[in-house]
Amino acid sequence: YISPEAFSFSFATTVLAASVLGGSGSVYGAVIGAAILQFGLNQSRDFQEYALVFTGAFLIVGGVFLTGGLAGVFRGLIARLDAAAAKSAGTSSPVPTDAVAAPVASADVGSFTGKTLTVTDVSKSFGGNKALKSVSLSAAPGRVTALIGPNGSGKTTLLNMVCGFYRTDAGVIDLDGKQLQTLSPDAVARAGVARTFQTPHIPEGVTVFDAVVSGRYMSHRASILDAVIRSPRFRRVRAADRAEAEAMLELVGLSRFRDAEATSLPLGMRRLLEVARSLVSHPGVLLLDEVASGLDEHDVDLLSTVIRKVTAAGGTVVLVEHNFQLVLSLADEIVVLAHGEVMAKGTPAEIESNPRVLSEYLGVDPDDLVDEAGTESGR
């Protein structure tokens, strides 16, 4: 039975003292603290007699001086040894103050098992606004499928429907035989879809490194029990998460900022961070929403290199982009949206010489095209 006496004041102070001694922020610290109090001190007759005095005094002293418990003391020691080792090796921790361009990252993207995304006759209305009208497209592994079109033509809406943020009014979204259009965003993420956002979505209060690591949570996680007991499986998952995040930060040139607060980065770098965050899970499909806007020339080059590496490694990329030159240089297929409808589809060469695309999307007068066709394609 449970009685109020079982939870006496002295019991409460003992539990509190155990967690202060061990360190309440660490699972094993708290266990060790409890063990010391229970099997060590508690066994002595004198201690039992004066237990309240001991624990009370300890709570005051320990609470003030031993803020992280024994676990904290131990961690502090390791951190100090680490710092000393780093100092003697001549490396220092990065300071996120300069925004000088890093060399184009040479890191490897690893392997990707790209999936085929097929969007068939998808429609979406917001009230009376028909944002998408029966849109179909397909993105295959090893290829960059670009989605272009003027502002408001429905590009982001389409990505939002693929990743489950919006429900389709009609149509089918298929990923290697699995239908996505009825799934929630987390289920779509687990199915292997990763994305970046036109306006980066990065939580406050996390470092660049942790923000990138979080990209693996959906696809490579240990169970809560594994995490609580810090099982070998949890440690393996965490080590892989960290290694992968380091590699992707290196790839997008953000390694120097790994310990900076993620939201403190300028817009361009936050976009690159989102690219790294979506790559760490090695998704079946990577959706990029205007990642190049706000990037300087150097970072646009870096981004192209990264995208090429992903497709060369077998990944599937859907690229929503305004930078027409970038699209022409990267895309295997281009889908042009206008007013929520697919206006044209084709190879870069076909799209570049499509009079409708040039006039409606690029604002080139079709009458001039006859004379300019030769020079236009060289732009």
Interface with ligand ADP (CB under 6 A)? 126, 129, 131, 149, 151-157
Q: Which does 347 bind (CB under 5 to 8 A by kind): Mg ion, ligand ADP, none?
A: none
Least Å distance between CB 250 and Mg ion? 29
152 contact choice in ligand ADP, Mg ion, none (CB below 5 to 8 Å, kind-dependent) = ligand ADP
With CB under 5 to 8 Å by kind, the binding choice for 157 among ligand ADP, Mg ion, none is ligand ADP
Single-letter residue type at 58: F
| Shortest distance (Å) from residue 299 CB to ligand ADP | 21
Residues near Mg ion (CB under 5 A) are 155-156, 198
Q: Which is nearer to ligand ADP, 198 or 359 (CB)?
A: 198
- Of 90 and 127, which has the nearer Cβ to ligand ADP? 127
> Would you say 250 or 321 has its CB closer to ligand ADP?
321
Residue 125 has what DSSP assignment? Answer: E
| Phi, psi of 150, deg, nearest 5 | -60, 165
Residue 139 CB, nearest distance to ligand ADP (Å)? Answer: 17
Q: Name the DSSP letter for residue 207.
A: B
Q: What is the DSSP string of 158-206?
A: HHHHHTTSS--SEEEEEETTEE-TTS-HHHHHHHTEEE--SS----TT-
Smallest distance, ligand ADP to C-beta of residue 149, A: 6
What is the pairing mode between strands 316-320 and 144-148?
Answer: parallel
Alpha-carbon gap, residue 176 to 322, rounded angstroms:
28
Q: How far is CA 177 from CA 71, 174, 180, 245, 311, in A?
A: 49, 6, 9, 30, 21
Of Mg ion, ligand ADP, none, which one does residue 153 interact with (CB within 5 to 8 Å by kind)? ligand ADP
- Residue 92 contacts which entry, ligand ADP, Mg ion, none (Cβ below 5-8 A, type-dependent): none
In the complex, least distance from residue 209 CB atom to Mg ion, rounded to whole angstroms: 28
Name which of ligand ADP, Mg ion, none residue 145 binds, using a CB cut-off of 5 to 8 Å depending on partner kind.
none
Which of residues 153 and 255 has its CB atom nearest to ligand ADP in the complex? 153
Residue whose beta carbon is closest to Mg ion: 156
Nearest to Mg ion of 201, 379 (CB atom): 201
Nearest-approach distance from CB 197 to ligand ADP, in angstroms: 11
Cα–Cα distance for residue pair 309/282, rounded to 1 Å: 12
141 or 340, CB closer to ligand ADP?
340
Least gap, CB of 153 to Mg ion (angstroms) = 8
Selection from ligand ADP, Mg ion, none that 311 binds (CB < 5 to 8 A by kind) is: none
Taking the mean position of all CA atoms in its chain, how far away is CA 96?
Answer: 20
d(CA 356, CA 341): 13
- 145, 113, 76, 128: which is closest to 332 by C-alpha? 145
The dihedral built from the CA positions of residue 19, 20, 21 and 25, taken in this order, carries a sign that is positive
Minimum CB–partner distance for residue 280 and Mg ion (Å): 24
Comparison of 118 and 198: residue with beta carbon closer to Mg ion = 198
The contacts of residue 237 (CB under 8 Å, 6+ apart) are 220, 221, 222, 226
Report the DSSP beta bridge partners of residue 117.
Answer: 139, 175
Tokens matching residue 288: 């990029």
- Which residue, 10 or 125, is less far from ligand ADP as judged by CB? 125
